[in-house]
Amino acid sequence: MSERQIIHTDLAPAAIGAYSQAVVAAGLVHCSGQVAIDPATQVFIDGDVTVQAERALENLGAVLEAAGSSLARVLKCNVYLVDMGDFAAVNEVYSRYFTGDEPPARACVAVRELPKSALVEIDCVALVD
């Protein structure tokens, strides 16, 4: 079994359960899901799905940076929506963070409920630089 490195940064929300912000192993960083929690205050940001998606992606970017990676190195994202009617709005935000001709693979699924009553949660796997 290869070594693994647990990632933690104060620039993203602290884990609210028995999990790590991310784990690096075998040249990959596996990031836990991020919701719209302000890392400075640990308070959930109450806003529409676009505001929440932006904060989730900012948090994800901070975790990736702490792991020696970046949004540009993401291989796959999973997007969880409470309402699939929010797909277009989240896709618009997502496309601002993943630009260019080679975006990562992605799944988007509707779920019944998310932590903190979030409208969107995003996780990813990325290459480590």
Q: Which residues are catalytic?
A: 108
What's the CATH class of domain 4-127? alpha beta
pLDDT at position 1: 44
Which H, E and C letters describe 64-105, residue by residue? HHHCCCCHHHEEEEEEEECCHHHHHHHHHHHHHHCCCCCCCE
Q: What is the pLDDT of residues 50-73, one digit of tens each?
A: 999 999 999 999 999 999 999 999
Residues in Cβ contact with 128 at an 8 Å cutoff, skipping those fewer than 6 apart: 24, 27, 28, 29, 67, 68, 69, 73
For the full predicted model, state whether its pTM sits above 0.85.
yes
User: How does pLDDT run across 73-107, given as a tens digit for each residue?
Assistant: 999 999 999 999 999 999 999 999 999 899 999 99
Reported as a single tens digit per residue, the pLDDT across 15-37 is 988 999 999 999 999 999 999 99
